[in-house]
Structure 1
Amino acid sequence: MDLFRSHGIHSGSKESEAQRRTQSLRRSHVDLEVIIPAYNEASRMPGTLRQTADFLAAQPWSSRIVVVDNASVDETGPVVRKLSREAGSPVPISVIGCARRGKGAAVRRGLLSGTSRFTGFFDADMATPVETLAAAMSHLQHGAAAVIASRHAPGATLVRPQQLGRRLGGRAFRALTRTKVKGIADTQCGFKFFERDALTAAMVQCRATGFAFDVELLLRLQLQDAPIVELPVAWTDGASSSFRPLHDGVASFAAVFQLPKSTP
């Protein structure tokens, strides 16, 4: 049976922690691991995984999808684990847990748990088209340390923009990040991919675990003179987001203020 058509999970279904650890340890080497941080994404994951797996299966590089369940209180983990075990996926799917709340913590857990030469993450809402991966991999294979999608670089378009309040907050946040990360128009677009060695060297310096994680990671890459490519994309605002403008916005501003500045 096709795993993407049969994904019902009963709320009472449970798996042992030992089973979950065993699955994560079976991750064999691939060229690219795609990390998807997920908090309460049970309803969205089957469609996201289907679209991502179909795209990756058509590419010349071997791939794996790794979903990081960030302490969800819905059925995100069981849904993905059920999908990963069923026949029908054109690429392997793994799920690992991250008990520490925060997108940065979940992304960090996913990125550092693999061994692939290239790795990166995008959000479960797929606001950035998955096809952007083809251009990202081309740049990485030709020497880029990081390739990030951008909603504000020349040539980018907003298919469906954010609400006014989020846009105004985003402008203020971009003004602040420009004092830290030089030459990057959009630090917060949820699509970033990396070469493993450059990523690891930068990650050991990162401390942020929330939405400021992206800023700090890019800053650490710049401080080690790692080449970063910014790709303009056609971006679509998701129907829902785990970002809480007041709580997360204040925390993100405070975290960025504490970061050192990039070299001139």
Structure 2
Amino acid sequence: MSDAGNEATSVLVTPVWKDSRRLSHYAPELAQALAAADRPVTWVIADDGSGAEEIARLEKVRDEARRIFPHIHLHAAAAHRGKGAVVREAWSGYPRARWLGFVDADGSVTGPDMLRLFAEAEKARNSVIGVRVRTDSTSIHESAWRALRHRGFLLAVRLMLDLETFDTQCGAKVIQGEAFRKVAGRLHEDGFAFDVELLVEMQVAGFSWEEMPVSWEEKEHSRLKPGESWRMLQALRRIQRRILEL
């Protein structure tokens, strides 16, 4: 990343792992939304150790998207560690950014909705997270099994961590840079539990956030496999132990 990039006020990270095909479908839409936004945002495609061949594919995706929106960087982690690890690593590359966001590569949250989170964060002067809630202006399309698993996980989060939120796992968030830098040293979860740990540690540190309903559509080839539910519960237990040690 260039020194100029490190001066970015708003940074959006898309974590990817062997995701060039999925991102190639979403990138034009997100690039168009970024180009149409009335605020400067730097978009970072953050690869989680996919290897040289995948990096070459991502470079092509980036170069195509740059025809629409020029401020795109590709960050390549040295090894595969997980979504949480690569988001933290990419965010840390912008130590003076006011806003740090991330959005999943599958396009389950639209580009315009992601940009609305940045606009709301600026308006509220606070972190804003997307939540999967049906309203007059939002729609949710997910399988019954995924919806049940999601509700069960939220119940576990409330019971184990005393964290009240409509949705910890929606892949669209905008966090105050100040808040992330305050808690970064206490973030250890490298996988999908990164979102929960981030919110819990922000809450412990005295930071709040707004919650904005967004439309969400379940996509094929989800990274969330059946066995992930058990690993997520184990992660909640680890987070709980660390909180109790404070």
Are the equivalent residues in 1 in contact too, given 2:189–2:197 (CA < 8 A)? yes
Matched residue, 1:95:
74
Q: In 2, are the aligned partners of 1:144 and 1:227 still within 8 Å (CA)? A: no
**Contact 1:71-1:101 at 8 Å conserved across structures:** yes
Aligned pair count reads: 238
Note closer, same or farther for the CA distance 1:153–1:109 as it changes in structure 2 (3 Å cut).
farther
Can you list the C-alpha shifts for 1:16-69, whole angstroms capped at 9, x where unaligned? Answer: xxxxxxx56662523321100001112122332211111111112112211111
Give the gaps of 5 or more residues in structure 2: none
Give me the whole-angstrom Cα distance separating, in 1, the residues matched to 2:38 and 2:121.
14
Q: Contact 1:42–1:76 (CA<8 Å) still a contact in 2?
A: yes
2:15–2:103: 8 Å Cα contact kept in structure 1? yes
The alpha-carbon deviation at position 76 of structure 1 amounts to 3.4
Report the structure number with the largest CA radius of gyration. 1
Q: Is the CA contact (8 Å cut-off) linking 1:151 and 1:235 kept in structure 2?
A: yes
Partner of 1:110 in structure 2? 90
TM-score, with structure 2 as normaliser: 0.86
Matched-pair contact (CA < 8 Å) for 2:102–2:174: yes
Quote the offset at 1:231 in angstroms.
0.9
CA distance in 2, matches of 1:45, 1:134: 17
Cα displacement string for residues 139-161 of structure 1 (whole angstroms, at most 9, x for unaligned residues) = 32234432111114766854421
More helix by share: 2
1:64–1:92 CA contact under 8 A, matched in 2? yes
Q: Does 1:53 align with 2:31?
A: yes
The DSSP-based 3-state class of the residue aligned with 2:37 is coil
Secondary structure at 1:142's aligned position in 2? helix
Alpha-carbon distance change, 181 to 55 in structure 1, aligned in 2, over 3 angstroms: farther
Match of 2:238 in 1: 258
User: Unaligned 5+ residue runs, structure 1?
Assistant: 1-22
Q: Give identity over the alignment, percent.
A: 26
Residue 101 (structure 2) pairs with residue 123 (structure 1): no
Q: In 2 relative to 1, CA 205–60 (structure 1 residues): closer, same or farther, beyond 3 Å? A: same
Matches within 5 A, 1:202-221: 202-221=183-202
Q: Check whether the contact 2:50–2:80 (CA below 8 A) recurs between aligned residues.
A: no
